[in-house]
Amino acid sequence: MAGTLAVTYSETRAVKKINMAWISDGAGAVSGSTKKVSGRVVRVTIVPSIVAVPTENYTMQINDADEIDILMGYGSAGLSATIKRTIVPRINDAVLGQPSYPVVIDGNLSFVVAGAGVLKAGTVSIYIEQ
């Protein structure tokens, strides 16, 4: 596993929260995974460290058990090293003209950061509704 990923869980309410604190390795990378989680992803908050500031335009993916990025590609476009980002992941069905619907997960989530710089850090919080 590249870098360090510490995962904590808050599961005492209707909306569950997974908090992931990460520190990149010498190659600017981090990888790891969560335990099995299930529900609808209602919000993801990405907060870069203000002390160990990541390199501008670092990338992040959080894949579900089917290898679908729950960030819907927002982390692949390059994240800001200084701006907190809140994402409300939604899947759009443009082909059928249907409204968007939330990302549903059931399984382990895998977490990958690349290009963050040496020993840089941040946190990610994922809010899941049952």
Distances in Å between the alpha carbon of 111 and those of 9, 32, 130? Answer: 15, 5, 21
CATH number, domain with residue 104: 2.60.120.380
pLDDT over 90 (residue 51): yes
Residue range(s) defining the domain that contains residue 122: 4-129
Residue 122's CB is within 10 A of a number of other CB atoms, namely: 25
Total tally of structural domains belonging to the chain? 1
| Tokens encoding 129 | 């509704």
Q: Which of 12, 58, 13, 16 is nearest to 34 (CA)?
A: 16
| Tokens encoding 126 | 């994922």
Mean pLDDT of 9-14: 88
pLDDT over 60 (residue 13): yes
Cα(21)–Cα(2) distance, integer angstroms: 14
Model's pTM, two decimal places?
0.88
Side chain identity at residue 4, one-letter code:
T
What local confidence, expressed as pLDDT, does residue 93 receive?
60
Matching residue, tokens 């710089």: 117
Q: What share of the chain is helix, strand, coil (3-state, %, to 5)?
A: 0, 55, 45
For 24-40, how does the pLDDT look when each residue is reduced to its tens digit (9 = 90+)?
Answer: 999 999 999 999 999 99
Distances in Å between the alpha carbon of 77 and those of 13, 17, 37, 114? Answer: 33, 25, 26, 12
What local confidence, expressed as pLDDT, does residue 1 receive?
52
pLDDT over 70 (residue 6): yes
For 102-127, how does the pLDDT look when each residue is reduced to its tens digit (9 = 90+)?
Answer: 889 999 999 999 999 999 999 999 99
